[in-house]
Amino acid sequence: MAGQADRGGHDKQRAVALVTGAAQGVGRATALRLAADGFSVAVNDIADDGRLTELAEQVGGVAVPADISDPASGPAMVEVIAGRLGPVDVLVANAAAMAMSPFLEAEPAEWWRQIDVNLSGHFRVIQAVIPGMRALGHGRIVIISSGWGVIGHPNATAYAASKAGLIALTKGLGRELGPQGILTNAIAPSYIDTEQLRVDADDAGISLAEMRQRYRELIPVRQLQSTDDIAAAVAFLAGPGSSAVIGQVLQPSGGVTRTGA
């Protein structure tokens, strides 16, 4: 049941996925999983310090480093990918900027940077991939939101706003693009064991180990989620088994959010 990335019918070419924010964490795990499921994978991140190219080589894909808050980046990436791999069948909107601070102390530039990357940046990347998906007659857009976009979190107003905005975008795109065969869904993870935990630990003024323990206590299943858990959810939403799933928000969070979005 796992990925069936053939582009259906007469065309045996492998389907193409673009993953933003793929240098590490969830993005990297997702790129590896989609490649294992048979996709050609283009990997984006804000810069290539060598990890992106290495990952691209590992998955037999292409590296397209770009700052997605730059309006020119989306069309440029799509053009490179089209030339190297073909049109994008699956977009995984994962890149995120994050900074924590109390609302009134937040630096406006830092606050808005999170909106610019997470929400506006992906809006533009989505705009760039839609014409190709329309031409294909199908497509999948998988948006990585956050449990904090569902239930909020102190000292994370910008991040939560950007991620909640992505949920609303998911629902709107689901309705708008569904009739064209383009399915949009979101995933709202909560506490994943990634390098992001270090940011949270610094904000709380505690060690990484203490941060892990503190989060475990907030999770009903008492386990941090792994990047592979989230990659599996992406693989489901990108694969053949989710053909009736549209405009939904999956919450593989160990029960943290416990609510509909």
Q: With contact defined as beta carbons under 8 Å apart, do 22 and 51 qualify?
A: no
Distance CA 258, CA 107 (A): 32
Residue 157 CB partners (closer than 8 Å, separation 6+): 103, 106, 111
Q: Does 236 bind other proteins (CB under 8 A)?
A: yes
Smallest distance, other proteins to C-beta of residue 57, A:
27
Please identify which residue in 31, 92, 233, 238 interacts with other proteins, judged by CB under 8 A.
233
Distance CA 131, CA 79 (A): 12
Tell me if residue 12 is catalytic: no
CA distances from 24 to 74, 147, 190, 216 (A): 20, 20, 17, 22
What residues from 145 to 184 belong to the interface with other proteins (CB under 8 A)?
Answer: 171, 174-175, 178-179
Smallest distance, other proteins to C-beta of residue 120, A:
22
Tell me if residue 215 is catalytic: no
Only one residue has tokens 């996709």, namely 39
Contact flags string 186-215 toward other proteins, x per CB under 8 A: ---x--------------------------
Q: What are phi and psi of 170, to 5 degrees?
A: -55, -45
Which of 12, 163, 171, 215 is an active site residue?
A: 163
Window of 69-77, 93-101, 134-142, 236-244 that interacts with other proteins by CB under 8 A = 236-244
Q: What are phi and psi of 93, to 5 degrees?
A: -90, 95
Cβ closest to other proteins, residue 22 vs residue 231: 231
Which residues are at the interface with other proteins (CB under 8 A)?
A: 1, 171, 174-175, 178-179, 189, 220-222, 225-226, 229-230, 232-233, 235-236, 240-248, 250-255, 258, 260
